Structure 1
Amino acid sequence: MVGSADRFTLAERVGIGATAEVIRGFDQERRVPVAIKRLHEHLSVDPLTRDRFEREARLSARITSEHVVGYVASGIDADDRPYLVLEWLEGEDLAHRIRTSGAQCGTAEALTIARQAALGLLALHEAGIVHRDVKPGNLFLALPPDGGPFVVKLLDLGVAHDSASENVDGVALGTPFYMSPEQARGDTEIGPRSDLFSLGVLLFELLSGKRPFAGDDAFSVLAKIVLQAPPRLSNAWPEAPPVLDALVARALARDPEARFSSAREMADAIEAARRVVLEGAAPPEDIALPPALVPSDDHLVGVIFGRLPLSSNVGRTRALFQRVAEQQGGVVIPLLGRGVAAIFAGECADGLLRAADAALDLVKQMTGVRLSLVTGGALPSGAGLSASVIERGTRALERPRADVNEPPVRIDDATAQLLEEQYAVEGAPGSLSIRGTRGR
């Protein structure tokens, strides 16, 4: 048993995660079932994990909202294991719904889920809490006892950030597919609009059946979130009503200031879009659709993707990478962990040539760094990169080594054709690299 005076009795275990187990219990005081989340025994002696768990309990106790799972109690059991008691929910989480029914659901249901999730985020944000892990597994479609329609409830404040106190771990956390650009860069300051971006990703997926940012591995997904011009809902769902296309585009803006200013504003925009699409209300006259982006064949960008050496101090290595890239006019963008990218723009192929020189200089100064270099047509200033450039660059970076003597700057076949007159290109098609310059 857990709780004072044996208030809560334990029944069967209903779930197990990386840090805690979830047990169905019974609240003797209120005579209702409850969910008891208890830290794993082997982690209860780890101060960092224990502090994070207890912080989740404190944050949960501060929230009272129909759209956030309800807090009941928390404490330490007889085995010195922290526990958190929450309301018992009947129904399923959205991840299970997607696995069993497919990602795309009806427009009405998608908008209902997103709007109620926004109201749950509103309650968190008004309490100074940023969730930081908005994803299908953390949205529960709870079925009321009276058999009414489901109610969306946000789950799991385990990685939430409380703006009123210091972040105890300083670690950027979340789930790659649903991270905001600021999370994917590893920024230390993550605000409420980060959650709204994640909710925009989720709405895109529910409406179209596709994730806006997909890739073969976490690195490519993070690179797309940070660097790619945000994909349009209408590209994945050609029949998307303009009001929904514009709503999702605003939520997915790379610049936080261009997103909705609050969860309340986003919830209101979702409701207004619902009335237009499902009830025939007049659409707003000022629907702001992003312009179509076409890469310029006359202006190329060179892009370096890199993984910094594991044996190095990441701060010092990032500073060195930035210094070398900026000497050639590159703009450096950090990625979560040891990932990094640098973009070189210029007239014709000038950006690519400067990127190649920077990459060769980097491998001379950084033992163990792994780099790829690709090029593609430039998009308008500030728009980001095309998905094609990012996919080719991350694919080249992650491909297996052809042999132990393979040069460390990997390129794709299209980039090789532009570099082969001035740089020593080695390898076979599909596994090409550059080792140095020709005659320089």
Structure 2
Amino acid sequence: MTGETGSGESNPERRGNELPTTAFDSDDLRADDNLDATIAADMSVGCESDSLGDASNRSSKLPQLDGYELLEELGRGGMGVVYRARHEKLDRIVAIKMILAGQFASADSIARFELEAETAARLDHPGIVPIYETGQSGDHHFFSMKLIDGSPLSALLDQFQPDQRKSAELMIKIAQAVQHAHQRGVLHRDLKPANVLIDPDGQPLLTDLGLAKQLDNDSAITQTGLVLGSPGFMSPEQAAGKADVTVAADVYAMGAILYWMVAGRAPITGENAFDVVRRTIEHEPESMREIRSDADRDLNLICLKALQKAPDQRYASADDFATDLQAWLDGEPLSVKPPTLFTSTRRWVQKNFRGVAVGVGTGTICGLWMGLTILLQIAEQQFDTASSLHEQLEAADPPWITEAFAWVKKVPAGLGDSLVPWITVVTAICGIATIGLSKPKRGESGAAPALTATLLSGILAFVISWAWAPIANRAEQASEQDLQLLSDYVFLHPDDRHLAEEVLFQRYPGLPKANSWQRSELMQSKIVSDQISSIPAALWTGLIVTAFIAALPIFASSLFAGLVWHREHRGWKFFWRSLEVAFYASTLMFLMSRSFGDFTGAAPAWHFQLISAVVISAAIGVALKRKSLWLRIPLFLAVFVTSAINVSDTGKVTRSRWIAQNAKTDAELAKALPYLERHLDHSRDRESRFRLATVYARLGEEKKYKKQCKTLLENGNFYRRAVAEQAAKVVLLKPDLHDDLSQAHLLAQWTSQQRAYNSWDYLCRTLSEYRQGNFDDTISWAEKSRKTAISQNAWQRETVIATAHLLESLAYQSQGNDQQSKQSLQLANENFDRESEVSFEAKLTYQILKDELAK
């Protein structure tokens, strides 16, 4: 049976819980519960009027309509009746809808009927039944429309309920038709399965716009308090009788239809129409999964989003509803459910499979090269030494890692260091290969292979070497001081142990308050705690190093190679042009890294770096824009020159010690001072600080000298003999500028009594005794310094002997023995002149003390 509404409404048993369209006053509904029975009775009449009844009886009562031959009645509802008819001039079978009351129709009914025809005529969409003609014949108002040879959705539940994907596909088409109506200012307001016809091809068509509303026509037909719609499918605001309904009402109805197709019943049910309307206002729909356990979770979320009670909580449009349904069909992320990381990653890999596969290959090669190269370098520096130490100690169970890296001894010495510079080259080639092999299509950015290679190379480099190496270094630094002090306390000569104990008590004032067992437990717990606490910082250090050295270079080279690729370069031309850009990018990144200081603590001046960055950026832009060689060659030379200037300036900082050492006057030394200060600003190492403090002492920079001395005393690792010796010596050069010299004297005493003492330690002790006014002890320690220097054939032996004679001369002078003082000074000058290689720190120390003697 065909028709607009008749075929679906003729079989009430197939309609589940669907109730007929109705209109009643919500104020009366709320005022008198006794109307429940009346409303239910009216609705049941509506249902019965929808049935076809006896076709032969109705055919004899068919009205006459100019220009049309009415063939049979297809169905009728509360307001209208639909006939099959033939257009006499066009000889076309159509559907004719007329007002059921005919000549007795009220003005309101006529106005609503004409509005339905006008509204339907505005819409032209494959999913909406088209209107052919509107008119009036005698007392009969009518409009003709396309006759659909199909069935209403309400009669086809068994075809859709088993297949949730089929239901979603149908709902997308319905939503597209509704979106078309909304875009033209039309609200349907009575969407339900009976008002969706399914043609023989399975395509849905919307029909029955009897309750439609034109958003641009503020008609008085719809009144506040009048409930319009079909219970079970109408929105809460319609059920409440609100006149200012929006597109959200139709979104709710579409959600209800989808719910009906999947769950087999409307989202809100009740004993009768009144109960359904009341429950629509007061209650939320229950989850489809509570009705149908195999209902898809995501589809349930989409449905419940459309069925939210608050209109602003639903989908903003029918198109948004359709978009989420299509995403669900395609396995894409939903707006109602953010995708998990695993889901997003899986979809991204599927979408970019070729690029990801290439990125895995190049990333693996690059990551293994970087990780193993750094591992080899570390193994050469650390594990070979560790293996030798365990052999000397005859340890029964050396750590497994020491045995695992026994092969390092068979590797040519220095191989790791020689391979490190090639990391940049390998990284650039891998980045270029990532784009060249993935061959991104036009419109593709090449981000998939670049990101894959970047992440994989970084992860491999991090796991192989750059994760645990910083942990080992941090753990060593965290406990090295305590372990050295405890080792000295255990193994030093009993007469010297009190020095280690004094340093321990000075570092940890709480130790003297504890007994011996508590001290042992406290120190053990502290060492373990320090090592564990160092792990997070070590991991962050490893991640930063990995990101900057491993991940960033391959990503940058891939990015620039992608830009070259999209400029239609192919083959060797692509490779060389990408290599050119990668060279510039690597140079720029090298300069950026130097801004933080390299391993020597050297960095070029900021204005040189800025000039180079501008020139390199221009060179990259010219290379990418395929400019001629006449422009690219000068820029290449400019990059080379500016880079050379940066390297030269960096070299001056690196060679600042050599420049200062060869300064013959204080004026020349002052010229080297800025480079020494820049070196310290970036390196922050003890040697640079000690060197700079000595220069400040020589040049009379009292404030800067005191600042560096204070830092050396506060941050010095005094468990190391050389650290303690340097700190004590530089402080004692200018004793008048310090308020307290006790720590310096203690350090000088500590270094001179270590088991691995040398002549420099004795020389520091000599200076300490002199500053304390112990002149006889000064002479005694000076003699020890000279003898030790000779017996140990110490480095800068003549300088040690000369400085010892000089301190001896100062002591004799203080005792009033000028003759002996002059003799010692003469010996000092003779030994100093014989020195072939002297550090400028030792040279400055000698000069400062000599000036003091002259005064």
Band the TM-score falls in, shorter-chain normalisation: 0.5 to 0.7
Q: Which residue of 1 aligns with 2:166?
A: 109
Does structure 2 conserve the Cα–Cα contact (< 8 Å) formed by 1:110 and 1:207? yes
Does structure 2 conserve the Cα–Cα contact (< 8 Å) formed by 1:176 and 1:218? yes
State the 1:74 CA deviation. 0.6
Percent identical: 25
Q: Which residue of 1 aligns with 2:130?
A: 70
Alpha-carbon distance between aligned partners in 1 of 2:95 and 2:169, rounded to the nearest angstrom:
25
State the 1:122 CA deviation. 0.9
Alpha-carbon distance between aligned partners in 2 of 1:39 and 1:94, rounded to the nearest angstrom:
24
**2:318 maps to 1:259:** no
Alpha-carbon distance between aligned partners in 1 of 2:322 and 2:161, rounded to the nearest angstrom:
20
Amino acid aligned to 2:73:
R
Alpha-carbon distance between aligned partners in 1 of 2:229 and 2:338, rounded to the nearest angstrom:
30
SS where residue 177 of structure 1 aligns?
Answer: coil
SS where residue 96 of structure 2 aligns?
Answer: strand
SS where residue 129 of structure 2 aligns?
Answer: coil
State the 1:2 CA deviation. 3.5
SS where residue 218 of structure 2 aligns?
Answer: coil
Q: Name the TM-score, length of structure 1 as normaliser.
A: 0.59
Q: Which residue of 2 aligns with 1:287?
A: 337
Does structure 1 conserve the Cα–Cα contact (< 8 Å) formed by 2:222 and 2:243? no
Does structure 1 conserve the Cα–Cα contact (< 8 Å) formed by 2:103 and 2:139? no
Does structure 2 conserve the Cα–Cα contact (< 8 Å) formed by 1:210 and 1:236? no
State the 1:242 CA deviation. 2.3
Deviations 1:198-225 (A, max 9, x none): 1101101111213221111223212222
Alpha-carbon distance between aligned partners in 2 of 1:66 and 1:102, rounded to the nearest angstrom:
22
Q: Which residue of 1 aligns with 2:109?
A: 49
State the 1:184 CA deviation. 1.0
State the 1:285 CA deviation. 8.7
Bigger-Rg structure (1/2): 2
State the 1:284 CA deviation. 4.4
Alpha-carbon distance between aligned partners in 2 of 1:52 and 1:24, rounded to the nearest angstrom:
22
**2:185 maps to 1:128:** yes
After TM superposition, the structure 1 stretch with the greater mean CA deviation from structure 2, 234-243 or 23-32, is: 23-32
Match of 2:215 among 150, 163, 179: 163
Amino acid aligned to 1:138:
N
Does structure 2 conserve the Cα–Cα contact (< 8 Å) formed by 1:14 and 1:22? yes
Structure having greater relative contact order (Cα 8 Å, sep ≥ 6): 1
SS where residue 161 of structure 2 aligns?
Answer: coil
Amino acid aligned to 1:131:
H
Q: Which residue of 2 aligns with 1:241?
A: 296
Match of 1:23 among 83, 86, 99: 83
Q: Which residue of 2 aligns with 1:206?
A: 261
Match of 2:194 among 137, 143, 156: 137
Query: Cα–Cα, structure 1 residues 155 and 284, in superposed 2: closer, same or farther, change >3 Å?
Result: closer
Q: Which residue of 2 aligns with 1:154?
A: 206
SS where residue 232 of structure 2 aligns?
Answer: helix
Does structure 1 conserve the Cα–Cα contact (< 8 Å) formed by 2:102 and 2:140? no
Query: Cα–Cα, structure 1 residues 191 and 286, in superposed 2: closer, same or farther, change >3 Å?
Result: closer
Amino acid aligned to 1:254:
K
Query: Cα–Cα, structure 1 residues 288 and 217, in superposed 2: closer, same or farther, change >3 Å?
Result: farther
Amino acid aligned to 1:109:
K
Alpha-carbon distance between aligned partners in 1 of 2:198 and 2:305, rounded to the nearest angstrom:
26
Does structure 1 conserve the Cα–Cα contact (< 8 Å) formed by 2:69 and 2:85? yes
State the 1:194 CA deviation. 0.4
Q: Runs of 4 or more off by more than 6 Å in structure 1?
A: none
**2:153 maps to 1:91:** no
Match of 1:194 among 231, 237, 249: 249
Alpha-carbon distance between aligned partners in 1 of 2:296 and 2:125, rounded to the nearest angstrom:
31
Structure 2 portions without partners, runs of 5+: 1-63, 340-855
Match of 2:232 among 177, 182, 186: 177
Alpha-carbon distance between aligned partners in 2 of 1:91 and 1:69, rounded to the nearest angstrom:
12
Deviations 1:60-106 (A, max 9, x none): 110101111011001001x22100101010010012223xx388342
Q: Which residue of 2 aligns with 1:2?
A: 65
Alpha-carbon distance between aligned partners in 2 of 1:237 and 1:165, rounded to the nearest angstrom:
42
Amino acid aligned to 1:267:
A
Alpha-carbon distance between aligned partners in 2 of 1:26 and 1:260, rounded to the nearest angstrom:
42
SS where residue 172 of structure 1 aligns?
Answer: strand
Alpha-carbon distance between aligned partners in 1 of 2:335 and 2:243, rounded to the nearest angstrom:
38
Amino acid aligned to 1:287:
K
Alpha-carbon distance between aligned partners in 2 of 1:285 and 1:56, rounded to the nearest angstrom:
35
Deviations 1:173-197 (A, max 9, x none): 1011111010111112111110110
State the 1:123 CA deviation. 1.5
Alpha-carbon distance between aligned partners in 2 of 1:105 and 1:116, rounded to the nearest angstrom:
19
**2:327 maps to 1:272:** yes
Please show how residues 318-357 of structure 1 align to structure 2 within 5 Å.
none
Count how many residue pairs are aligned between Structure 1 and Structure 2. Answer: 273
Deviations 1:373-403 (A, max 9, x none): xxxxxxxxxxxxxxxxxxxxxxxxxxxxxxx
Alpha-carbon distance between aligned partners in 2 of 1:105 and 1:71, rounded to the nearest angstrom:
34
SS where residue 267 of structure 2 aligns?
Answer: coil
After TM superposition, the structure 1 stretch with the greater mean CA deviation from structure 2, 61-70 or 11-20, is: 11-20
Alpha-carbon distance between aligned partners in 2 of 1:132 and 1:154, rounded to the nearest angstrom:
12
Deviations 1:315-335 (A, max 9, x none): xxxxxxxxxxxxxxxxxxxxx
> Over aligned residue pairs, what C-alpha RMSD do you find?
2.1
SS where residue 209 of structure 2 aligns?
Answer: coil
Query: Cα–Cα, structure 1 residues 227 and 195, in superposed 2: closer, same or farther, change >3 Å?
Result: same
Q: Which residue of 2 aligns with 1:37?
A: 97
Q: Which residue of 2 aligns with 1:408?
A: none
Does structure 2 conserve the Cα–Cα contact (< 8 Å) formed by 1:75 and 1:84? yes
State the 1:239 CA deviation. 2.0
Structure 1 portions without partners, runs of 5+: 144-148, 277-281, 290-440
State the 1:44 CA deviation. 4.5
- Higher percent of residues as helix: 2
SS where residue 142 of structure 2 aligns?
Answer: strand
Deviations 1:128-161 (A, max 9, x none): 1111111111010012xxxxx3110111111111
Q: Which residue of 2 aligns with 1:435?
A: none
Q: Which residue of 2 aligns with 1:232?
A: 287
State the 1:38 CA deviation. 1.2
Does structure 2 conserve the Cα–Cα contact (< 8 Å) formed by 1:43 and 1:50? no
Query: Cα–Cα, structure 1 residues 29 and 273, in superposed 2: closer, same or farther, change >3 Å?
Result: farther
Alpha-carbon distance between aligned partners in 2 of 1:16 and 1:86, rounded to the nearest angstrom:
16
Alpha-carbon distance between aligned partners in 2 of 1:152 and 1:142, rounded to the nearest angstrom:
7
Deviations 1:248-278 (A, max 9, x none): 11101111111111111111111111223xx
Query: Cα–Cα, structure 1 residues 152 and 286, in superposed 2: closer, same or farther, change >3 Å?
Result: closer
SS where residue 176 of structure 1 aligns?
Answer: coil
Query: Cα–Cα, structure 1 residues 270 and 29, in superposed 2: closer, same or farther, change >3 Å?
Result: farther
Query: Cα–Cα, structure 1 residues 80 and 288, in superposed 2: closer, same or farther, change >3 Å?
Result: farther
Query: Cα–Cα, structure 1 residues 204 and 28, in superposed 2: closer, same or farther, change >3 Å?
Result: same
Alpha-carbon distance between aligned partners in 2 of 1:264 and 1:44, rounded to the nearest angstrom:
42
State the 1:117 CA deviation. 1.3
Amino acid aligned to 1:93:
P
Q: Name the TM-score, length of structure 2 as normaliser.
A: 0.31
SS where residue 224 of structure 1 aligns?
Answer: helix
SS where residue 24 of structure 1 aligns?
Answer: strand
Alpha-carbon distance between aligned partners in 2 of 1:256 and 1:288, rounded to the nearest angstrom:
22
Amino acid aligned to 1:2:
L
Deviations 1:379-431 (A, max 9, x none): xxxxxxxxxxxxxxxxxxxxxxxxxxxxxxxxxxxxxxxxxxxxxxxxxxxxx
